Amino acid sequence: MLYKQKKALFANATGRVLDVGSGVGPTFKYLVDEASQEDNNNNSANRVTSVVSIEPNPFMQEELKRAAAAVKDKYDVTIIQKTIGQAIKDGDIENGTFDTVICNLVLCSIPEPEKILNEIQQLLKPGGKFLFIEHVVSKTGWSAFQSAINPLWNYIGDGCSLIRHTDETVANMSGWSSANITEIPRKKYIELRHVNGICIKE
Ligand SMILES: C[S@@+](CC[C@H](N)C(=O)[O-])C[C@H]1O[C@@H](n2cnc3c(N)ncnc32)[C@H](O)[C@@H]1O
């Protein structure tokens, strides 16, 4: 799902990358896309050099390790089996050390997304990139339906919320020198708004 949009978005990843909430590692394959990994001068500044993968769910670890092994010729992946908050608290990841932070359909599930977004910004180096693709609450009457079913959705979807305003939350943060957030055109039969964004830290 959203393959084309993810391919284009994650082609912007460079350097040391943090993948927040990796799941079983579907993001890794986008970071070895030839278009993003090569330039005419073979300039290493335009390549992903390493990935730190944060994923707390124990049931995803085996498949996540396999996904990491599949890209080991391109870059190293370090897997941390913790929440992002815990990894920060424990000093596993430090402020100002990442060139790129990625959230691929994750901010719908993370508790206290505003707090985590501020922490994500701090993890970036100045000039670093925050790349995200997320589903957000509808702008039509569907939002009432989404609100109504959200408790059940949250329960069966492992904490996933249908009613977050992630696009607005990110856009309203200070500390970006630019925030380019766009809505992804929807398939007619699915009323689930998706947005993606590239934000550059000041
Ligand atoms: C919908 S899945 C997306 C996984 C993957 N990024 C993908 O695109 O398939 C959300 C992921 O976020 C993880 N997650 C939930 N809370 C988290 C937290 N506080 N810190 C890091 N990851 C978290 C979940 O375990 C889950 O794997």
In a domain, 159, yes or no: no
Determine whether the shortest distance from the Cβ of 104 to ligand 1 is under 6 A.
yes
Cβ contact 84:119 at 8 Å: yes
pLDDT tens per residue across span 20-56:
999 999 999 999 755 444 554 555 567 999 999 999 9
In a domain, 143, yes or no: no
Output the domain CATH number for residue 57: 3.40.50.150
Give the pLDDT mean for 89-117: 97
Pocket test for ligand 1, best of 106, 154, 161, 192 (most atoms within 8 A of CB): 106
Give the pLDDT mean for 94-119: 97
Q: How far apart are CA 100 and CA 97, in angstroms?
A: 9
Q: How far is the CA of 134 from the centre of ligand 1 (A)?
A: 12
pLDDT at 43: 57
In a domain, 157, yes or no: no
pLDDT at 170: 98
Cβ contact 125:99 at 8 Å: yes
pLDDT at 175: 98
pLDDT at 40: 46
Determine whether the shortest distance from the Cβ of 61 to ligand 1 is under 6 A.
no
Q: Which residue's CA is minimally distant from atom 24 of ligand 1?
A: 21
Pocket test for ligand 1, best of 110, 136, 160, 196 (most atoms within 8 A of CB): 110
The span from the first CA to the last CA of the chain, in angstroms, equals 32
pLDDT band of 140, cuts 50, 70, 90: confident
Give the pLDDT mean for 70-75: 94
Give the pLDDT mean for 176-199: 89
In a domain, 36, yes or no: yes
Cβ contact 195:133 at 8 Å: yes
pLDDT at 141: 87
Determine whether the shortest distance from the Cβ of 169 to ligand 1 is under 6 A.
no
Cβ contact 53:93 at 8 Å: no
pLDDT at 45: 63
In a domain, 151, yes or no: no
Give the pLDDT mean for 122-135: 98
pLDDT band of 181, cuts 50, 70, 90: very high
pLDDT at 188: 66
Domain range holding 50?
Answer: 3-136+164-201
The structural domain count of the chain equals 1
In a domain, 29, yes or no: yes
Q: Which residue's CA is minimally distant from atom 19 of ligand 1?
A: 83
Determine whether the shortest distance from the Cβ of 53 to ligand 1 is under 6 A.
no
Q: How far is the CA of 149 from the centre of ligand 1 (A)?
A: 21
pLDDT at 78: 98
